[in-house]
Amino acid sequence: MPLTDLGPDDLAGYQPSLTAPHDFDAFWLRTLAEARSHDGAVKTERVTSAHLLHTVEVDDVRFPGWNGEPVAAWLIRPRRAERPLPVVVTYMGYSYGRGLPTDHLLWSAAGYAQLVVDSRGQGHDTPDRTTGDGTQWVGGFMTRGVDSPENYYYRRLITDCVRAVDAVAALPGLDPDRVVVAGGSQGGGLTLAVAALAGDRVAAALPDVPFLCHFRRAVRITEEGPYPEIAAYLRRHSPDRAARTLATLDYVDGVHFARRATAPALFSVALMDPICPPSTVYAAYNHYRGEDRTLTVWPFGDHGGGYGCNPPVQLSWLRERGLAPEL
């Protein structure tokens, strides 16, 4: 697979101009305040035995997300932990939900708790009950409600993801001072959003090959993956729809969130990634506000990034920052 974007020298300094809306911060403050105004308890049910697991405990979690609607998650912890654990709140890639607990055993094997968050409408356990104003979309989720920021699908999903961090305080055995947010692709873009919106409640962020970054470039150069859904949608409308659509996307762009995030962050980028162009990842990384930022570059990586080589890098990086569990 060839390089899919700019060369390494051009990527290193790639820092496009920002196009964040003037009311970006007010929009998200209002959105989260509305979500938090809905009453709703965090509920858990122990389901370990149903999955025949012996070294971990598994809870089926429901916490209030967008509009107070219940969002599903798995809480997976090493069995018989004696003290509160650092927790990795994990967001999923595009079209994936939380899956099964057996899909998510790496972090607990390393001594962490993990909260695996379902993606509304993409997973089987969290429906997307709100679909905007009836605007027709093209396939998937990229253009669902894209007629306005208020109706857009990712407003709801990002809200769910922030509320997952809110839920940590109500879950047993977790250390709310050591919350790590993590995810790859779509999960990486959501990680950047939460790192910005949850502020100092996030101790570290691990965005891998993040999606949802630098839309204004991505939709014009990407041939594979979800971004072409937007181009296909705009192909069916008059040119003035493009300006409105890009203006909506600006409210959920990972570059704008990166500019507001301060937690230590470990990014990864794959230079042969045909789905999340490397320049869009560098745009977020080079605009990241936090001073403690690191970028792992996989020169021959595709959208899988570093595959099995990446977790040891993450574990070592977290240990260096005092975020490893006490063994």
Q: Is the pLDDT score of 19 beyond 90? A: no
Provide the pLDDT for residue 137.
63
In a domain, 223, yes or no: yes
CB 146 within 8 A of CB 108: no
Query: Which whole number is the average pLDDT over 118-127?
Result: 95
Range of the domain at 233: 8-317
Give the residue carrying structure tokens 């905007």. 132
Cα 197 to chain center, whole Å? 12
Provide the pLDDT for residue 135.
55
273 is catalytic: yes
Domain count, the chain: 1
Q: Which runs of E-coded beta strand occur in 161-308? A: 174-184, 204-208, 265-270, 293-298
Please name which of 186, 192, 324 lies closest in space to residue 266, comparing C-alpha atoms.
192
Q: Is the pLDDT score of 74 beyond 60? A: yes
In a domain, 3, yes or no: no
Provide the pLDDT for residue 236.
85
C-alpha span between 123 and 281 (Å, rounded) = 25
Provide the pLDDT for residue 157.
98
Confidence of residue 4 (pLDDT cuts 50, 70, 90): confident
Q: Is the pLDDT score of 128 beyond 70? A: yes
The mean of the pLDDT values for the chain is 94
- Which position among 160, 273, 279, 287 bears the catalytic label? 273
Query: Which whole number is the average pLDDT over 180-187?
Result: 98
In a domain, 87, yes or no: yes
Provide the pLDDT for residue 263.
98
C-alpha distances (whole Å) from 214 to each of 160, 191, 211, 256, 276 are 22, 15, 9, 9, 10
- Which position among 108, 119, 185, 279 bears the catalytic label? 185
In a domain, 2, yes or no: no
Could you read off the pLDDT of 199-223 as tens digits, one per residue?
Answer: 999 999 999 999 999 999 999 999 9
Q: Is the pLDDT score of 51 beyond 60? A: yes
In a domain, 144, yes or no: yes
Q: Is the pLDDT score of 134 beyond 60? A: no
Confidence of residue 132 (pLDDT cuts 50, 70, 90): low
In a domain, 63, yes or no: yes
DSSP 75-110: EEEETT--SPEEEEEEEPPTT-----GGG--HHHHT
- In CATH, what number is assigned to the domain containing residue 145? 3.40.50.1820
In a domain, 324, yes or no: no
Q: Is the pLDDT score of 66 beyond 70? A: yes
Residues of the chain above pLDDT 90, percent: 88
In a domain, 1, yes or no: no
Q: Is the pLDDT score of 240 beyond 90? A: no
C-alpha span between 166 and 137 (Å, rounded) = 31
